[in-house]
Amino acid sequence: MGVTQVPDHTTEVTAAGIARLAGVGRAAVSNWRRRYEHFPRPVGGTETSPTFSLAEIERWLRDQGKLAEVPPRERLWQLIESDPAGQSAALTALGEQYLGHGAGTPGGGGLPDTPLARAAALAAAGSDPAEAYEFALGRYTDGAAARLTLTPPETADLMAALAGPAHSVLDPACGAGGLLAAARRGPAAPPTELYGQDADPVLARLGALRLALRGSATVQVRDGDTLLADAFPHLTVDAVLCHPPFNERHWGHSELTYDARWEYGLPARAESELAWVQHALARLRPGGTAVLLMPPAAASRRTGRRVRAALLRRGALRAVIALPAGAAPPHSLPLHLWVLRKPDGTTAPDPRLLVVDTATTHRPAGGGRAGLDWPGLRRTILDAWQEFRREGDIGPVPGTRRALPVIDLLDDEVDLAPARHLPPPTEATGTAALAAVQEELRGTLRRTASLAAAVHPDEGSGTAPGAHWSTVTIGELIRAGALELHTHSAAGEPPPATRAGDVLVPLLLDGSATHVVTDAGAGEPPDRRLSLLRPDTAALDPWFLAGFLRGTANTRQASSYASSATRVDVRRLKVPRLPLETQRRYGRGFRDLAAFEDALQHAADLGRQLVQGTVDGLTEGTLPPGD
């Protein structure tokens, strides 16, 4: 499929795209339109959401000295984004060109000489075709997140790690191929056969191109309804990874009543997730492993108890793991991971089920996705799973993990929710324990009062010269050698391990804040939602850098609003040009503010612990009621 329908003179850009070109917020673009009569007129769109000629806009910005440097990958996405109705077609054409012709010169190596093809070649030249395509596909799926159910990369990587090494992997609800891509980038030898199916033909095609561009694997991705029209009816694989659609009422209950896949019982009409579980088992080789992301209700709904009981009796269900809310959409629910094994017919069913609950022990302050401790969460789950697989049992940890005898679960409910089978964490609720919490809370509150006084502005200190500052962007500091920028690559390679003095900057405006790594937090690579900045301390003070990067106006002007997730372009963030000694003075102030913020958070945590401990002590009879 060609892209000649997007020539230079007809490529259009939205107000958000203009803001990215100039490195400003959308409010500035609106202001320019009002102030300057020579600002280009709209050429399309609607009255409330106009579009402009990209060539005219670039010429105007250049004449006004407002044209910011646009990375090649961003330039590529701008061209794709300029035609909302044709984005998927442009992405398909891009993937096919990369796959068939590499990143060759447009007009010479088989690529048509069009704006999109030229931008594609430049984007691939800076990395490689697979990474350039991954970037563009990520922007597309972010923008369509409202209608798509996307598995976050951290959750996908965890599911692939639970499945373990595999020669062949299937995802029967693959979407854009996120889970299969996670299986390819795992630490073990990558699979050589990847199979996928999705009801959305566009996503299936884009996912197939994404996987094929990574090379060295047989990739087969089909479109169609997996339960009603399985594209691989005779396939068996080593591993199945799946994030199935939830709560489907028309999954084929009536049409599939006598389907051979229902080896563990016909799923009820309201139990579409148990149909996907059995489909996954039907496609496994004996001894193979399946990992499915499930809604928490699937572990306890009465309509599914017979199928759950059969899975337990046959030894097919090995683990149920509760994740914190925010680990995957819908982000308001603490979803479960089910780990299953295809019985081989020769060994006795395992008499135990592993249950792990991280929904409360790893819940971030404030809830939601921001603040999830992915390294800690991953260690807790994988350590428990590996010990359970190795030993067939596991040392219980109150509130976190336990190996349950299957016989104890085979009652009238067959309730598999981990929290209902774990003793509460070993936090004493007696008078002495709560008195210790209360004393620590008093000390923390005294510290917050002291820190609040330390960071209170001195009214006699005069006015800071902020309005007259000359600023420099992070991109310019990187080019000058004063700063290093490290992020996760599209292939999943993490940045280097953090060390004290590094600055971690959120890539999304999700409530998390830029902060400096201390000695206590050093040693782990940052997760995918963070960029790592490593300043040359002879030129930049880390606390000064982190403080100014956290400013509201700074993050707003460096943000992209073209998708449902608001992204921050780290290279466009700015800091003042100040002498190192002045930077350190600001840095000390920002460090005091960070200590104050940490103390407030600790006080809030202790307060919640004191309240819950008192409630538990009163309800469990370990505390007497007050007078």
What are 577-616's pLDDT values in tens digits?
A: 999 999 999 999 899 888 888 888 888 878 887 888 788 7
Distance set, CA 362 to CA 371, 376, 380, 528, 591 (Å): 10, 8, 9, 18, 26
Q: What φ, ψ does residue 195 adopt, rounded to 5°?
A: -130, 140
Helix (H, G, I), strand (E, B) or coil at 374: helix
- DSSP, res 565: S
The pLDDT value recorded for residue 234 is: 95
119 against 574, higher pLDDT: 574
What gap in Å lies between CA 286 and CA 282, rounded to an integer?
A: 10
What gap in Å lies between CA 332 and CA 346, rounded to an integer?
A: 42
The pLDDT value recorded for residue 455 is: 58
Q: With contact defined as beta carbons under 8 Å apart, do 337 and 162 qualify?
A: yes
What pLDDT band is residue 64 in, cutting at 50, 70 and 90?
Answer: confident
The pLDDT value recorded for residue 120 is: 83
- Per DSSP, helices labelled H in 456-558 are 474-479, 542-549, 552-557
What pLDDT band is residue 7 in, cutting at 50, 70 and 90?
Answer: very low
Top mean pLDDT of 25-34, 249-258, 517-526 is at 249-258
128 against 504, higher pLDDT: 504
Q: Please check the confidence at residue 425 and state whether its pLDDT lies above 80.
A: no
pTM over 0.75: no
The pLDDT value recorded for residue 39 is: 94
492 against 509, higher pLDDT: 509
The pLDDT value recorded for residue 113 is: 65
Distance set, CA 216 to CA 193, 349, 411 (Å): 9, 37, 48
pLDDT of 499-544, one tens digit each? 899 999 988 776 678 899 988 777 777 877 788 999 999 999 999 9
Q: Please check the confidence at residue 5 and state whether its pLDDT lies above 70.
A: no
What pLDDT band is residue 333 in, cutting at 50, 70 and 90?
Answer: confident
Q: What φ, ψ does residue 603 adopt, rounded to 5°?
A: -65, -40
What gap in Å lies between CA 597 and CA 321, rounded to an integer?
A: 33
The pLDDT value recorded for residue 130 is: 86
> Which amino acid is present at 112?
P
Element (H, E) at 287: strand 284-294
What gap in Å lies between CA 116 and CA 508, rounded to an integer?
A: 27
Element (H, E) at 195: strand 193-198
> Which amino acid is present at 587?
G
